[in-house]
């Protein structure tokens, strides 16, 4: 219990539960350790609460480097293993351009323009494709 509390203070990212979905809002400049902590917190919370989706709102994040990119990709992969879907919401254009230039396109990650759009996406029934609900070709 004490340990848990200490970790929560070190990692400043709150994980909110909204019904069947966890809402995580990242803001400003993240420490590496905070990002690692978040990764752990999300997994633990999913196991504890049994939610089916995670929305990570990064509209307040000014840069994503390869480290944070990797953490986000790992969070998505982990939640997938725990039978939940992760949607990354609100990435800024400058961040997106930079990530692509960096060579990080995060192919397995679901994305949405806003948190609302992410919640909508999660509300849809699971599609067969693993990556991105809207990817498949229509006739």
Partner 1 sequence: MPEHESAGALESPTHAVRDFLRRRREQIAQRWADEPLFRTVFTVSRDEAVEAGKLLVDALAQVADAERVEDPDAAGFTEVREQLARMGAARTRAGLSTTQVSAELAALTRPVENLLVADLEQEPSERLRACATTLSVLMGTLRLVAMQTALTEVQALIDRQRLQLLEVATPVIKLWDGIVAVPLIGTLDSARSQVVMETLLNAVVDQHARFAILDITGVPTVDSLVAQHLMKTVAAARLMGAECVVSGIRPAIAQTIVHLGLDLGTVKTRASLADALGYCLHELGANIVNAAPDGPGRR
Partner 2 sequence: MHTAAGVEARLPIRSDMDLVWVRQHVRQAAALLGFGLVDQTKLVTAASELARNTLVHGGGGLMEASHVGSSGVDGLRLTFSDTGPGIADLDRALSDGYTSGDGLGMGLGGARRLVHDFHVESAPGKGTTVRVTSWVRRPPRAGGAV
| Cβ 114 to partner 2 shortest distance, Å | 20
Nearer to partner 1 by Cβ, of 47 and 96: the residue is 96
Question: Using CB distances below 5 to 8 A depending on partner kind, what does residue 29 bind out of partner 1, partner 2, none?
Answer: partner 2
Out of 33, 40, 114, 124, the only residue in the binding site for partner 2 (CB under 8 A) is 33
Question: Which of 16, 17, 19, 32 lies at the binding interface for partner 2 (CB under 8 A)?
Answer: 32
Residue count at the site for partner 2 (CB under 8 A)? Answer: 22
CA separation (Å) from 56 to 43, 48, 50, 112, 115? 13, 18, 17, 10, 8
Q: Is 105 in the site for partner 2 (CB under 8 A)?
A: no
Cα atoms found within 13 Å of the Cα of residue 98, Cβ hemisphere only? 12
> Which one, 100 or 126, has the nearer CB to partner 2?
100
Report the interface residues with partner 1, using CB under 8 A: 88-93, 95-97, 99-101, 105-107, 109, 111-114, 117-118, 124, 132, 134, 138
Which residues of the chain form contacts with partner 2 (CB under 8 A)?
29, 31-33, 62-67, 69-70, 92-95, 97-98, 101-104
């Amino acid at each position: 219990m004490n340990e848990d509390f200490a970790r929560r203070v070190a990692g400043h990212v709150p994980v909110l539960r909204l019904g069947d979905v966890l809402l995580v809002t990242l803001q400003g400049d993240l420490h590496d350790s905070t990002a690692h902590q978040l990764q752990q917190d999300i997994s633990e919370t999913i196991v504890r609460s049994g939610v089916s989706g995670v929305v990570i709102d990064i509209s307040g994040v000014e840069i994503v480097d390869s480290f944070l990119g990797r953490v986000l990709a790992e969070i998505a992969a982990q939640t997938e293993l725990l039978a939940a879907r992760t949607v990354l919401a609100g990435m800024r254009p400058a961040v997106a351009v930079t990530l692509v230039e960096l060579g990080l396109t995060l192919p397995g990650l679901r994305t949405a323009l806003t948190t609302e759009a992410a919640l909508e996406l999660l509300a849809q029934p699971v599609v067969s494709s693993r990556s991105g609900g809207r990817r498949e070709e229509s006739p």
